[in-house]
């Protein structure tokens, strides 16, 4: 995965922006969670029910691997899936360097 696809899947950027907006709103409403995350982190959204977007985001991460910034993975459901379950809580993971 050294090179990302120069033509992202149709509307994947728009879907990403929507999920990031919702995630930032959630973090704003839960400041204790935001305070537990590293400063100046790289956010990688991994939607569990959108494999196309998940793969694209992992490719973007691979292209940015030299940034040296800590990475936070956010596993979430897309809005359609969340609406059906009436529940919204992202799972956030910060990998620990061994």
Asked whether the predicted pLDDT for residue 46 surpasses 90, the reply is yes
Per-chain mean pLDDT for the chain: 81
Query: Which pLDDT score is estimated for 6?
Result: 58
CB 47 within 8 A of CB 23: no
Residue 86 pLDDT > 70 = no
Query: Which domains does the chain possess?
Result: 12-93 (3.40.1350)
pLDDT tier, 1 (very low <50, low <70, confident <90, very high otherwise): very low
Contact 91, 45 (CB under 8 A): no
pLDDT attached to residue 98: 58
Strand order in the sheet with 91-93: 42-47, 71-76, 91-93
Q: What is the mean pLDDT of residues 50-79?
A: 85
């Amino acid at each position: 995965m050294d090179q990302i696809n120069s033509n992202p899947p149709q509307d994947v950027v728009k879907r990403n922006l929507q999920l990031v907006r919702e995630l930032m709103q959630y973090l704003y409403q839960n400041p204790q969670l935001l305070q537990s995350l590293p400063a100046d982190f790289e956010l990688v959204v991994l939607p569990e029910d959108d494999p196309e977007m998940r793969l694209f985001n992992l490719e973007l991460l691979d292209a940015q691997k030299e940034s040296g910034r800590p990475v936070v993975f956010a596993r979430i459901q897309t809005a359609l899936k969340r609406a059906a379950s009436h529940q919204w809580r992202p799972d956030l993971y910060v990998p620990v360097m061994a």
